[in-house]
Each structure stands twice: as structure tokens, then as C-alpha cells.
Structure 1
Amino acid sequence: MKLLILDRDGVINYDSDDYIKSLEEWIPLPGAIRALAQLSQAGWTIAIATNQSGIARGYYPLSTLHAMHQRLRDLVAEQGGELGLIVYCPHGPDDGCACRKPKPGMLEQIAEYYDVNLTGVWFVGDSSSDLNTALAVGCQPVLVKTGKGLRTLAKPLPQGTLVFDDLAAVASQLISL
């Protein structure tokens, strides 16, 4: 199985320091939907692992998160692709859960769901917590310069981190392998 794991906000859609709180605020980044569809058509299984503490903070209900994810699935399907498992952490930073990145719970859930070892699987994110989560389970950390990516790039990166302009560039690289 060719598995690719992605963060959501800042990788697939625009991010906001004020949180993405509504379906109207959930706006795909240029080229991201097409990249997802192309990866799917090339035989990649795409899973998403996303922190969504806005739920715990009361900024939006779970139904809004599900609507965002359904919109994402619909847009990818319109381009002839398909998304796999989407896991999310609804907890706040002080809730002590095992799933909030940089803890590895969501990636472990993906590994269990697909019954795969994550060693070497690319995990694409835009933050240090994404990169550290990747390392915690043996994934290949991949940074995109979208979202918080440029801020993250200004800090020391984990050794071996791959850096791409955006999700479309990641897709182009993986499809050419």
C-alpha cells in the first residue's frame, strides 16, 4: 500500500490563527484538491490527521467539522479522486489526551486502521508539531511552505525533513517515483 498522511489546516486548506470555524472559512489552498485527486488516481491512499482544538474551545461543533470533511471529500471526488481515513483530535492543549499532535495517537490510529507499519511513510505538515509527530512513529517528516510552513522553516528542522513549496509539489514528487 502506498500510504500518505497529511495534516489538514495549512496543507490542504488555508489556516487561521483564529481557527477555521465554519464551512465558509474552510477554503482549499490553490492546487491542493487537484493534487489529492492525482495522488488518489496514481494509487496513493491518503489519510489525514488533524488537531481540531476549536471543538474543545467551543468555537464550532463537531457537525461543522464533519461538514468540512465532507466538503473536502466531495471536492476530491469531483476531480476523480478519493480520500481515505480522516482522524482528528477534538481536545484542547491541556486535556492530556494521547491524540493531540505532537503525540502519536492519531498516526497510530491510522496505522491500526490500515494494518501498516508507518516506518518511512511520508507525513506532510506545516508545523513543528507535525514534524515531531512524524518522527515519533518513524514516518518521513515532510514540510510544506504553505500555512505555518515558512514560520516553521525559520526554526531548526528535524534531520532528514523534506521541504516542498506546497501539496502540489509533494504530489508531483510522489507520483514520479
Structure 2
Amino acid sequence: MKKKCIFLDRDGVLNVDRVDYVYRMEDFIIPKGVPEALIALKEAGYLLVVITNQSGIAKGLYERKHVYAIHEAIQKACGGVLDDLYFCPYHENFDSRSLTRKPGSLLIEKAAAKYQVDFNLSFMVGDHERDIIAGT
């Protein structure tokens, strides 16, 4: 049976975004209401999958371990309701073009295949046009 899923951007949706990058714990802030919203979505039967561009890795500003640390902090704050994390570490101006980078949809497609997602019952939540394009 196919499943319903909410694909979630990270920065600006699950945590407060910054002008630069969120990779240090001291810069990490979860907006009020996010944990409760995620728990409610999980209780409504949705898979919750984070789909995020993390080009600071390509730029040499931080490492993958920083992305995982922030994800673990979100998980802890939200009761472990997130089902998975997919991120694109690339940036076209620094290393390569990649279909995994939003607005490309490859990360969403990979998650959908892994979890047998029904796109007709699923949504992408983001704070930029590239998120919406990736989810269409």
C-alpha cells in the first residue's frame, strides 16, 4: 500500500534560517509550534521526510557531520518523528550540477521509491520557490 508523506525543507521551515548557514548548534533555533505540528502530522499518518540543500558543504564552510548534528537536534526536540533525511551537498558554482539539488526532484523521487509514497496524498513544505518546484 502506498503511503502519504510530507516532504519538508529544513532551513526556514524546521529551524530559523539565517543569511549565512545554519550548521552550528548555537545558531540552531526551532520556531514555536514546529514540534507540535510535526507530531500532529505524524499522528495523522504521514511519513515525514526532510529534503534540504546544504551547499555550505561544497563551499567548504561545514561538513556532513554538521548536517547530521542539526538533524539529530531536530529529532530530539520533536520526539523523533522524522522518518528520514535527504540532503544535497553540492552547489553548481563550486563543484557540480546535480539533480539532487532543489529545484531538482531527485531526492524526493528517491525517498518516494524507498517509502512507496503516493504523490496524490503527499505535499512539499518549503519557504522558497525552488522547494515548490521540486515538489511538483
TM-score (norm 1): 0.70
> 1:43 deviation in Å?
2.1
Aligned to 1:18: 20
Distance 1:44 1:116 in 2: 10
Q: Which residue of structure 1 lines up, in the alignment, with residue 83 of structure 2?
A: 84
Per the TM alignment, residue 120 of structure 1 is displaced from its structure 2 partner at its CA by 4.8
Distance (Å, rounded) in 2 between the aligned partners of 1:4 and 1:131? 12
Letter in 1 for 2:28: W
Work out the CA distance in 2 between the residues paired with 1:119 and 1:98.
22
Structure 2, unpaired ranges of 5+: none
Instruction: Give the length in aligned residue pairs.
Output: 132
CA distance in 1, matches of 2:69, 2:132: 27
**RMSD (Å) for aligned C-alpha atoms:** 1.4
Write out aligned runs for 1:10-159 (5 A): 10-77=12-79, 82-94=81-93, 95-135=96-136
SS class of match (2:125): strand
Residue segments in structure 1 that go unaligned for 5+ positions in a row: 136-177
Instruction: Give the partner amino acid of 1:111.
Output: A
Report if the CA contact (8 A) 2:5-2:121 is conserved: no
SS in structure 2 of the partner of residue 111 of structure 1: helix
Alpha carbons 2:55, 2:89 under 8 Å: kept: yes
TM-score, normalised by the number of residues in structure 2: 0.90
Deviation at 1:67, TM superposition (A): 0.6
State how far apart, in whole Å, the 2-side matches of 1:115 and 1:2 are: 9
Q: What CA distance in whole angstroms lies between the structure 1 residues aligned with 2:60 and 2:122?
A: 33
Q: Provide Cα deviations, 1:110-134, integer angstroms capped at 9, x if missing partner.
A: 1111022424521111101011111
Q: Which has the higher contact order (CA 8 A, sep 6+)?
A: 2
